[in-house]
Amino acid sequence: MSLVEPADALLAIDIGNTRVGLGIWDGDGLHDCRRVPVDRPGEHRAALEETWRAMNGGRRAVVIGSVNPGWTPGVQELVEEVAGLSALRVRDDLPLPMPVEVENAREVGVDRICSAAAAYERIHGACAVASFGTAITIDCVSEGGHFLGGAILPGFQMSCDALHRGTAQLPRVSAAVPATVFARNTHDAIVNGVVYGVLGALREIVERYATELREWPKLVITGGNAPLVAGLVDYVDAVVPDLCLMGIALAYRSAAGQA
């Protein structure tokens, strides 16, 4: 691991399966967040330059959390060109921001662990952390702040697309708030099945976490479809759109003794 110096301002970068997220962490917390498609490298530079110009503070650093190794080297090169700094990567250059109690920590996506750490920093107790992105992850953190593992499901759109590709006549639809409980056409039947199926899985998994923990964990949700979920259930404690970026910044701050 590299020697980590304290920073006045951090540029946090989250390289996911679908999008690259960027945000600034400083004395005001996380702000100036933006996202660009991961497969449009031409937009990466503009977003990076705009975010870098918005940063204040004398000591700056760049930290990356990535679950997409194919695009990571290109983003790192852009950081060096735009910022004149070498970006540090969570796990490769920086320790994970919380203890991980699983069989093989390297199999767990950095995004899951960073999101869990940011949720724990907010809750200060046992919590479940669900991210609704390309895939859906529902993870659990112990009262003492240890990542205990979790579950992985297909994301909303992935499920919709799989039904379309795997059948002869089912149309391709997009996930949305169900129009009615009793779907009266094929489109609505797919939407209801996918959306209500995910909500049922979320409740079931969190209930099982509660049974093991002997207490009901606070539920924090994030990801592009988090608002959809929050509008349909009454057991979400917090919706935090930029949770993973917060956790990536936390990994740097912890390594630098600033957390």
Q: Which residues are catalytic?
A: 111
Q: What is the DSSP letter of 143?
A: T
Can you list the positions of beta strands (E) in 75-174?
88-89, 127-132, 135-141, 147-154
Please report which helix (H) or strand (E) contains residue 66, including its range: strand 60-66
CA–CA separation, 11 vs 154, rounded Å? 30
Q: What is the DSSP letter of 20?
A: E
CA–CA separation, 183 vs 12, rounded Å? 43
Read off φ and ψ for residue 197, nearest 5 degrees. -65, -45
Q: How many C-beta atoms surround the C-beta of residue 127 within 10 A?
A: 25
